[in-house]
Each structure stands twice: as structure tokens, then as C-alpha cells.
Amino acid sequence: MQEHALACFLMLYELVSLIELTQSCRGESRLSLYAYGSSLFPLLPVVRTPRRSLTPVHPGNMSSTKINRRSQRAAVATAAVGVAATAALLAPGATVGFAAAPASLRTVAASTQGLAMGPSAAVAAPVVADAGSMAAMSAGIAGAALAAGAFSRSQAVKRQGKAKAVQLAAVRESVVNDTATAVETECINAIRFLAVDAINKSNSGHPGAPMGQAPIGYLLFAEEMNYNPEDSKWANRDRFVLSSGHGCMLQYSLLHLAGYKSVSIDDIKQFRQWGSKTPGHPENFETDGIEVTTGPLGMGISNAVGLAAAEAHLAAVYNKPGMPLIDHYCYTIAGDGCMQEGITHESASLAGHLGLGKLIAFYDDNGITIDGHTDLSFTEDVGKRFEAYGWQVLTVLDGNTDVAGLRDAIKQAKACTDKPTLIKVKTIIGYGSPNKADTHDIHGAALGKDEAAATRGQLGWKHGEFEVPQQAYDVFRGHAAKGASKQAEWNKMWAEYQQKEPELAAQFKRACMDRKLPDGWADSLPKLTPEDKGKATRLHSQDCINALANVLPEFMGGSADLAPSNMTLMKCTGNFLKGSYAERNFRFGIREFGMAAMCNAMSLDKTGIIPYCATFTIFSDYMRSAIRMAALSQAGTIFVTTHDSIAVGEDGPTHQPIETIPSLRMIPDLTVMRPADGNETAGAYKYAVERSKNESRPTFMAFSRQALPNLPNSSIENTFKGAYAVIECADPEVILIGTGSEVHVCVNAAKEGLAGKKVRVVSMPSWEVFRAQPASYKDALLPKNVPTLSVEAAVTMGWGEWAGAFVGIDCFGASAPGQTCLDNFGFTSANVASCAIRCIAGERGALSNGSQGKH
């Protein structure tokens, strides 16, 4: 009798597979199929074609044929007869022993019954876990045969079934071993419904991703990760980055369940509300337990690469036999959108090249974006792409319920120590929602009251809104307690380490734990006089980088394949490469965007690293989003750029930054510095290092390609004022303000073209630093009643804050020698003097905007 019942369930599988081919019930049927498919036929994928038809690939011959919509409808109409007959198998009072059948199989049965009787019945249908009488069984099998015949006549699919013995064995195994235990399912559903309820309450958010990613989150926060909610800055904690940051209710739910005080149930209820700790995307500065701010897709996985690189470096520097001071993993979840962004290519390619084996990325492969199914725009094989990068690639076909499969994949990932791992997890967006799962409708909109209720019924969740069973709290917080115990063990090892490795321990404590700068570190920076030979500020930058490298072991970075031009190579250390992680020179390759995101994460790692990254000033546009995110997320990244104006020369306007520096000044909390000589360069580095280490804030520096003289009155101390008088005079008739390479043009204009005039020349290396000075200092330096002329080889936008008249370039540059460009666009002492006289006479606005240089 039981064998017949098992055969009926095999028949049921065939019917559900058939129904899955339809457009109308695609989401619901996939819910049902995947609920037990991983244990029954784990090799059964469903491949969508760009025409939106579905192609089943069956075990056995693995052959496939497209199904057109008409044949789908004909086949399913006939199949309904078989489904209706099969429903009799679900009648109460049956006697065959299926009471122990797993919930996944019962879900399939109920869903099939509901589909036979109508869409609403798919949710409300009674679930009975027994087989019916032999007569009902025979009717069901006959119906299935009828359906199969119609399906065959449609000529849509040809397939070969697996051997009956193999099928029966698979079903027996699924009956005995459910995909997830009851406790696991309860914990996973707790995550899902915290997300559903919070998003419903705010009527804003993205429920689909948290509902699909919940099993991954459960495994990480309830089993795999080492963390301590009481000390989120523990140096050896595992790191987690949600690259698909729109699904942040996943992370907030996990932090709450794990016991982080930063996310209470009241905070969950205030999701996306003013002043809450649960904003619309993860923000590390708002919510304790969040490593980095994510939201722009692809940024997070690039941050994760940076965190993994930091781990590799610190482990190589500090670990000793028997004392693995740094030995943690970085986990990240990324979605289809992340995989489409170019920054993911940049950072993932570098991660594979570097062999960052402590990086484990989950690809939430749900096939849905805002526009609809990814068939519309994204059909590449992501796994093969990552294999080409040098990653280990694993696949879990059922990420919705196959907790064991996910657990095994993580185990395999950890076993691979010389490659990062990508785990492709096939999920259903909005898993559990009867009417919205597997559609773009659930990506960025609340389920609503009715659909939330239906989802509760679908997943058997009997708890009210924001109600979490104590058992779920116990599981997560029990694991968090284990993390606290592991930190206690780490503390014992740290005590032993201090005894056995006193010098390294002292360095680790200062740089990584206390995150302080060593005494006297700034004394290493060069100090120059006007008599010293002038040179390009990029060369002064090189001197500063190497001076700092000798006294700050936490200072590390590199260039996007421009080290010989940016002058950013540290001479006291080697290249950070696979097998030489203790070195500090990063070879980022031509990956500006990925480079910047990695450096942001290294700063936010909370281990005291001071990262810098370099490129040409114009190519900072390639990393603009990461620069903005550095400011927003309070990352202490130092952005070093060279070739800062039209003085670049022959490379022409494609390489000549015109609007770059002025536009960067608009980013809140970003300090932009354009030094004019060696002392200002040293001052800029002192400021940037202190701002990075002490405040965790970013600094952007722009240096010249051409040689510049050392200025009178320049110093590190004056640089810290943001602006100061290079040439002073009492009661000036006119004030000339310059930045960078234009300051010496102002000096020459004052000495030559404005002889006999009372002229004050001001160098303004940083608007932001000057803006922060006391009003008394600012008013004394730039009195409002004195005509003031700004001179900068950039667009004149914004200068009205400091001056009434401007010399700038409000047009693109040209290809010619650098000095020729400067002369023709008006950056000469003669033109500046002429404009200053006009300014004294009362003229205002852009007195020279570069238009005279266009040809």
C-alpha cells in the first residue's frame, strides 16, 4: 500500500512540473516545487528563455524543448483532470502511513489541490498528510496518465524518467529527512515576518530579498559567524556585508534576533522613520553591528573584498604559531543587481587574483530586478565569470529551504583556503507570498495586509505582527553567547601574545585596538623653505608617503595602475600579492571604482588601517560614488590624485580636470585639499592622516604634474587654517586668492603687474578647513569690504562664497604643452593683474573664464 502511495507522490511531482510551465501560476507553482524539489530531484532547474516561455530540464536525459503559450494552456487544461482526480488522495480518513511526510511534500499536495479548484483554494485548501483509498489512487493515476498524454501530444517536451527504484528511494529519503528542521524553519520565518511586518507598517521598503535570503542569514547569524553583540569592535569578529542593501530588513532582523542593543523590536517598528536606527539602507554610523554602509549595488561586495584584504594583511603581519590573532571570515550577500554593476567586476577580479580565501560571497540568484525578470537584460553565466576570476564557485539549487545544502556549501567554502568562494544560491524573491513571489511586484513594495496574511498561512506562521517565538530568540542569542565565549578565549590568547611577542603586541594595541597614532609621527614629514628647489607637488606627495610609511605600519595603499605617475610607491615595503600579504603596496590595476570601495572598507574595518588610493584627478570621476560613500559612511580613506589641471597638457581635455575639484567640494564631510608647495603638501598629509585615524573621515588631495616654487610663509601649521596670507599687507586694496599651482601666479601678479598697489595674496589649500575656522579669523583674512579675486584653473562655480570676481576656465581644455594651455586660457600673471585692476574698479563675476583660449 505504501509503495502505491509513494508512486502517487511521484505522479504528483510530474503534475506540478507540468503546471510549473504556465505563466499564470508560475510563482505559486515554483513555491511548491522548490519546497521539496531539492530533496526529491536536486538536479531539476527551470530555465527561462527571453520570450518568457519556460524550458524544463529534467533528470535523465537533461534535454529541453521550448513550450509555447498555446501548448502550455492545452496541456494544463488536460492536466487539470489529473489534478482533480489526485485531489481525492488528500481526503480525510486515509489510512496509508504518510502522517510523517515532511511539510514540503504536504505543501506540494495542498498547492496542487488548490490549483485544481482555483487560485484562492491554493492557500485555503486543507492539508491532509495521508493517501486515500485504492480507488482514489487509481483515479489519480488515470488522471495523471491523461494529462501526460495531452502533454505528449503538444510536442512541447520529451523526456525520460528516472528509474522507479531511484525515484522511490528519493521520495523515501524526503519523507524521513525534511529540508529544514522545525526549529530552523521557525527561525527563518521569524526573519521573514519581521521584514514583512516592518515594511508593511512603514508602507515602504523591499520585502522580496529578505524573504528569499532568510535561510542564508539564519545560517550565518545562528550557526557560522563569530560575533559578540556586546563588543561589535572585537578585532577578530567575522564580518558581514549586505551588498544588496535595499534588503536591509534582513540585516536588522538578524541584529535584533542576535541581541544587538542597537536594534530593538521598537526600532524594527520604526523602520524607515525619522530618527530611527533602522534606515532604508544599512548605515554603519547609525546602527551598531553594521560594518559598512551599502545601497548603491555592487558597493558592498567591493567593500567585502577590502575587508578580506585587511584580514589577510593583519593575519600575515601579526599571527604567530599557535596564536592566530587575526583569523576571521568576511561574508557578503549580493543580488542580481550587484552582479550587473561594473564595480563588482573590478573588485571580484582583484579578489580572485589575490586569492582571498577568507571571503565568502552568496549570490542571491532570484532572477528578478525592478524591471522584471532578468531575461530582459542579464543572461550571462555568473558562475563561469567568477571561475574565470579565480574564484571557487558552488551552487545551491534550493536556497529557500535547503538549509543542509547551504551549510555544506559554507563548509566547502571554508575548506578552500587559496581562493574566494562564490555560492550561487537559487532563491525565490518573496518566498512564501502566494500571489507575489517570483515577481518584481514584491521587490520594492509592501505586501499589504491581505497578502501578508496569506503568506502567514502559506508558511504556517501562527504568530502576530512583530511577534517572535522565544525559541527563535534562544537559538540566535545562544549562538551570540558562543561568540562572546570565543572572544573570551581570544582575550586569553591575546594576554599570552603580549608576553611572547611584546613588540608586535605593542604595535597591534596602538594601531589596531586603541587606533592611535604614535608619538612624534608627524616629525617625519618634510619641511621646506622658499630657497629650496621647487618641484611638482606630486613629488612632494611621494616624499610624504615614504616618510609616513616608515613610521606608520598601518599606512597602506596604492594606485590604479598609475604608481609611476602618481608617485605613490612605498619604498620600505613590497607588493601586497597572493603569498605576500604582509606587504603594503597594493597593485589595484585599472580599477578605480573598486579600489576606492575596497579602501573605504579597510578604513571601516575598525582595526586602525589608514588606507590611501591614487589615480589621475580626472579619473576620480570613475570612483565618484565611492568617494561620496566614504564621506557618508565616515570612512577615513585618503584619496591621492595627480595631474590636477589643464597643465596636464598634451593629453588634452579628456585628461584635464576642469569641473572635478569644484564638484567634489559639494560633497558633505569630504575635505578637498589642493596644496601649492611642499609645506602645504606635508600639511595636507598630516591633516589627512589625523582625520583618518582620529575622526574616520575622508580627505581628497589634488597634486600638480608641473614644478612649483616653494612659497613664502607656507607651513604645516598654516595649512591647518585652510587659508592664510602668503604675501601680507595692511589695508589691502585687493585680495588675490589662489589654490594649488595658481598661487604662485598670484604672487607674481602682485609683484609685477600690480606694483604700487596694496595687494594681499592668500593661498587657500582647502575650502572646508577654512570654512571651519573662527569667524574672526575668516573676516580678518578676507574682509568683506575689500575687492577679492579668485584664481583657479577650474570652473568658477562656488567661488562666490569667498570672492566677488573670478579667474577660471568655464570650458574644456585643449591638447598642447601644459604651459601653452595655461597661457592661452588666461593663467598668467599679466592677465591676473589686469583682472585685479578691473576688480578694484568695481567689476564682478567671471572676469576671465577661459573663453579666450578656445579656437
Q: What is the mean pLDDT of the chain?
A: 85
CB 287 within 8 A of CB 252: yes
> What percentage of the chain's residues is helix, strand, coil (to nearest 5)?
50, 10, 40
Give DSSP secondary structure letters for 278-345.
S-SS--TTTSTT--S---STTHHHHHHHHHHHHHHHHHHHH-BTTB-SS---EEEEEEHHHHHSHHHH
Indicate if the pLDDT at residue 692 is higher than 90: yes
Does residue 810 share a domain with residue 696? no
Does residue 665 share a domain with residue 649? yes
Indicate if the pLDDT at residue 127 is higher than 60: no
Does residue 508 share a domain with residue 373? no
Does residue 195 share a domain with residue 47? no
pLDDT value at position 186?
A: 98
- Residue 573 domain flag: no
565 annotated as a binding-site residue = yes
Q: Binning pLDDT at 50, 70 and 90, where does residue 281 land? A: very high
Indicate if the pLDDT at residue 663 is higher than 80: yes
Structure-block grid coordinates of residue 231: 563588543
Does residue 538 share a domain with residue 638? yes
Structure-block grid coordinates of residue 39: 530533496
Distances (CA, A) of 672 to 398, 541, 688, 766, 842: 49, 15, 10, 6, 31
Q: How far apart are CA 553 and CA 512, in angstroms?
A: 10
Q: Binning pLDDT at 50, 70 and 90, where does residue 114 land? A: very low
Tell the burial category of 761 from Cβ atoms under 10 Å away from its Cβ (0-12, 13-18, 19+): buried
What's the CATH code of the domain at 466? 3.40.50.970
pLDDT value at position 37?
A: 39
pLDDT, tens digit, for every residue of 736-763?
Answer: 999 999 999 999 999 998 988 999 999 9
The identity of residue 119, as a single letter, is P
Q: What average pLDDT does the segment 307-325 reach?
A: 99
Indicate if the pLDDT at residue 43 is higher than 90: no
pLDDT value at position 755?
A: 86
pLDDT, tens digit, for every residue of 474-518?
Answer: 999 999 999 999 999 999 999 999 999 999 999 999 999 999 999
Catalytic pick among 592, 680, 690, 742: 592
* C-alpha count within 13 angstroms, C-beta hemisphere, residue 200: 16
Q: How far apart are CA 280 and CA 790, in angstroms?
A: 41
CB 466 within 8 A of CB 227: no
* DSSP SS3 for 415: helix
Structure-block grid coordinates of residue 472: 527563535
Among 45-59, 369-383, 453-467, which is the least confidently predicted range? 45-59
Provide CB contacts within 8 A for 513, sequence distance 6+: 235, 608
Of the candidates 537, 459, 452, the one whose C-alpha atom is nearest the C-alpha of residue 742 is: 537
Final residue of a domain: which of 678, 708, 738?
Answer: 708
Indicate if the pLDDT at residue 322 is higher than 70: yes
Q: What are the E-state strand segments in 345-401?
A: 359-365, 368-369, 372-373, 392-396
- Residue 588 domain flag: no
pLDDT, tens digit, for every residue of 163-193?
Answer: 334 333 433 333 334 457 899 999 999 999 9
Tell the burial category of 776 from Cβ atoms under 10 Å away from its Cβ (0-12, 13-18, 19+): exposed
Does residue 527 share a domain with residue 503? no
Indicate if the pLDDT at residue 657 is higher than 80: yes
Pairing of strands 788-791, 805-807: parallel
pLDDT value at position 130?
A: 35
Q: What average pLDDT does the segment 190-209 reach?
A: 98
Does residue 377 share a domain with residue 448? yes
Structure-block grid coordinates of residue 310: 585587511
CB 652 within 8 A of CB 677: no
- Residue 579 domain flag: no
Q: Binning pLDDT at 50, 70 and 90, where does residue 855 land? A: low
Indicate if the pLDDT at residue 108 is higher than 90: no
The reply to whether the predicted model has a pTM over 0.85 is no
Provide CB contacts within 8 A for 248, sequence distance 6+: 206, 242, 278, 279, 280, 281, 282
295 annotated as a binding-site residue = yes
The identity of residue 303, as a single letter, is N
Q: How far apart are CA 834 and CA 829, in angstroms?
A: 9
Distance of CA 428 to the CA centre of its chain: 21
pLDDT value at position 164?
A: 35
Q: What does the radius of gyration of the chain's CA atoms come to, in whole angstroms? A: 33
Does residue 111 share a domain with residue 35? yes
Distances (CA, A) of 115 to 111, 144, 796: 6, 15, 67
Q: Please tell me the total number of residues recorded for the chain in this structure.
A: 855
Of the candidates 249, 396, 237, the one whose C-alpha atom is nearest the C-alpha of residue 331 is: 237
Final residue of a domain: which of 423, 457, 478?
Answer: 478
Pairing of strands 46-48, 555-559: unpaired
Q: What angle do CA 811, 815, 821 make, to 5 degrees?
A: 65
For 438-474, give one letter per residue: b (16+ CB within 10 A) or e: bbbbbbebbbeeebbebbbebbebeeeeeebbeebbe
Does residue 443 share a domain with residue 300? yes
Does residue 294 share a domain with residue 396? yes
Among 144-153, 438-447, 656-665, 693-702, which is the least confidently predicted range? 144-153
Of the candidates 654, 649, 688, 683, the one whose C-alpha atom is nearest the C-alpha of residue 671 is: 688
pLDDT value at position 179?
A: 55
Range of the domain at 493: 484-513
Q: Does the annotation count 592 as an active-site position? A: yes
pLDDT, tens digit, for every residue of 47-80?
Answer: 333 322 322 333 333 333 333 333 344 344 434 4
Q: What average pLDDT does the segment 394-409 reach?
A: 97
What's the CATH code of the domain at 795? 3.40.50.920
Structure-block grid coordinates of residue 644: 590636477
Q: What average pLDDT does the segment 662-677 reach?
A: 98
pLDDT value at position 242?
A: 99
206 annotated as a binding-site residue = yes
pLDDT, tens digit, for every residue of 412-452?
Answer: 999 999 999 999 999 999 999 999 999 999 999 999 999 99
352 annotated as a binding-site residue = no
Structure-block grid coordinates of residue 94: 486515509
31 annotated as a binding-site residue = no
Final residue of a domain: which of 708, 739, 768?
Answer: 708
User: Where does residue 727 fall: left (phi above 0), alpha (psi -120 to 50 degrees), or beta otherwise?
Assistant: beta
- Residue 263 domain flag: yes
Q: How far apart are CA 253 and CA 259, in angstroms?
A: 10
655 annotated as a binding-site residue = yes
- Residue 77 has a CB neighbour count (10 Å cut-off) of 11
- Residue 701 domain flag: yes
pLDDT, tens digit, for every residue of 772-817?
Answer: 999 999 999 999 999 999 999 999 999 999 999 999 999 999 999 9
Give the dihedral sign, CA 495/497/502/504: negative
pLDDT, tens digit, for every residue of 608-619?
Answer: 999 999 999 999
CB 196 within 8 A of CB 268: no
- DSSP class of 577: B
Q: Please, what is the end-to-end C-alpha distance for the chain in angstroms?
A: 93
Tell the burial category of 415 from Cβ atoms under 10 Å away from its Cβ (0-12, 13-18, 19+): exposed
CB 713 within 8 A of CB 724: yes
- Residue 587 domain flag: no
Does residue 766 share a domain with residue 630? no
Structure-block grid coordinates of residue 423: 555560492
Among 149-153, 186-190, 283-287, which is the least confidently predicted range? 149-153
Contacts made by residues 19-22, CB under 8 angstroms, sequence distance 24+: 19/76, 19/79, 19/83, 19/112, 19/115, 20/46, 20/54, 20/56, 21/54, 21/56, 21/67, 21/72, 21/75, 21/76, 21/156, 22/72, 22/73, 22/76
246 annotated as a binding-site residue = yes
Q: What average pLDDT does the segment 724-728 reach?
A: 97
pLDDT value at position 112?
A: 38
297 annotated as a binding-site residue = yes
Q: What average pLDDT does the segment 559-564 reach?
A: 98
- Residue 633 domain flag: yes
Structure-block grid coordinates of residue 238: 567575522
Structure-block grid coordinates of residue 132: 486515500
130 annotated as a binding-site residue = no
313 annotated as a binding-site residue = no
817 annotated as a binding-site residue = no
368 annotated as a binding-site residue = yes
Does residue 80 share a domain with residue 44? yes
Domain count along the chain: 5
Q: Which residue has the higher pLDDT, 40 or 344?
A: 344
- Residue 714 domain flag: no
pLDDT > 70: percent of the chain: 79
Query: Which residues are registered as beta bridge partners of 323?
Result: 320
Dihedral pair phi/psi, residue 423, rounded to 5°:
-105, 105
600 annotated as a binding-site residue = no
Distances (CA, A) of 503 to 121, 250, 262, 326, 500: 71, 42, 36, 17, 9
